[in-house]
């Protein structure tokens, strides 16, 4: 499994609030290279499948509704130690606990609407990239 790739989503509120450019600038300045990217939108069933690991959590249905509520930007990012370095750049899941200067601290509007997704392992980065991008788009 390559350890130099991760996968991100700019979530609906961050996209709607026009923060995509600022977030991508932070991503580039932290040394990540964008390998694939597109604006897309999830049907509720697709959002449910993407977050299936959380299906028994109390926040699952609201999260699925939210993630399918509007356009998102999805991207594959390349950098050494991509998964852990990107988790550091985005900050804690709960933006009130995220470090100053992190993407979530700067752009989240709530715990659910926390600006971005970032993969939590190399294996999931690969699975999540395959979820959104064809083999050709990933080259």
Residues annotated as catalytic are: 117
Options 27-35, 42-50, 114-122, 126-134: segment touching ligand ADP (CB under 6 A) = 114-122
Integer angstrom CA distances of residue 134 from 7, 127, 128: 14, 12, 11
> Which range of residues in 27-35, 40-48, 75-83, 108-116 is near ligand ADP by CB under 6 A?
108-116
Candidates 40, 128, 56, 139; CA nearest to 86 is 128
Query: Counting contacts by CB under 6 A, is residue 112 touching ligand ADP?
Result: yes
Least distance CB 120 / Mg ion (angstroms): 5
Q: What angle do CA 91, 83, 126 make, to 5 degrees?
A: 130
Which residue among 30, 37, 106, 111 contacts ligand ADP (CB under 6 A)? 111
Which of Mg ion, ligand ADP, none does residue 30 bind to, with CB < 5 to 8 Å depending on kind?
none
Q: Which one of ligand ADP, Mg ion, none interacts with residue 3, CB within 5 to 8 A by kind?
A: none
Stretch that binds Mg ion, among 17-25, 32-40, 74-82, 117-125 (CB under 5 A): 117-125
Q: How many Cα atoms within 13 Å fall on the side-chain side of residue 80?
A: 0
What are the φ and ψ backbone dihedral angles of 55, each rounded to 5 degrees? -60, -20
Name residues whose C-beta falls within 8 Å of residue 22's C-beta, 6 or more positions apart in sequence. Answer: 106, 107
Binding to ligand ADP by residue 102, rule CB under 6 A? no
* Dist CA 81 CA 108 (whole Å): 24
Q: Which residues bind Mg ion (CB under 5 A)?
A: 120
Q: Which residues bind ligand ADP (CB under 6 A)?
A: 54, 59, 63, 93, 111-112, 114, 117, 120
């Amino acid at each position: 499994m390559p350890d130099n790739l991760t996968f991100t989503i700019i979530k609906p509120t961050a996209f709607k609030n026009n923060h995509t450019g600022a977030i991508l600038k932070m991503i580039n300045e932290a040394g990540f290279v964008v390998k694939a990217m597109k604006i897309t939108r999830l049907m509720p069933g697709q959002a449910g499948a993407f977050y299936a690991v959380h299906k028994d959590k109390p926040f699952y249905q609201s999260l699925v509704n939210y993630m399918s509520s509007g356009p998102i930007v999805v991207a594959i990012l390349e950098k050494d130690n991509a998964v852990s370095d990107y988790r550091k750049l985005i900050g804690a899941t709960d933006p009130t606990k995220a470090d100053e200067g992190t993407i979530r601290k700067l752009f989240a509007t709530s715990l659910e609407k926390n600006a971005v997704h970032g993969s939590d392992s190399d294996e999931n980065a690969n699975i999540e990239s395959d979820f959104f991008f064809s083999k050709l788009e990933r080259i």
